[in-house]
Amino acid sequence: MLRRTRIAALCAILLTPLAISGPAGNRTQSAAQPAPSYTYRGTVHAVNASTGTLDLITGVGMSLRLVHMSAGPAVHTSAPTAGLRMADVKPGYIVTVEWHRTSAGLVVDRIEKLEAPAR
């Protein structure tokens, strides 16, 4: 009996990691975990402060994107010169954008305006 219990316990220890893990594609985000944050660097294509949307042209290597993001008034903004507000963000600005993914799409957490590189 004791031997059976020990085997069952050993099996449970060995199989538990397999049961709770799986291929990356099948894993779902735990409700308790915050959504991972990502950073895009790019050029503001369009911005609408009243509807809270931001379109960003971004490129990583040859992989270029026009990404549509939600950017509410609570978005944290910063710039080399202080005092940037979401309403001040203009097309053509070079920015880094921290964002996370929700079921409704990409949501901006923070925008930082960058100085355009010297020519």
- Binding region for another protein (CB under 8 A): 23-25, 27-28, 36, 38, 41-43, 57-67, 94, 101, 106, 114, 116-117, 119
CB of 62 to another protein, least distance (A): 5
Alpha carbon 38 to its chain's center? 4
- Report CA-CA distances (Å) from 19 to 11, 31, 41, 61: 12, 19, 38, 38
74, two tokens:
């609570």
* Nearest residue (CB) to another protein, 5 versus 63: 63
CB of 110 to another protein, least distance (A): 16
CB of 15 to another protein, least distance (A): 23
Helix (H, G, I), strand (E, B) or coil at 66: strand
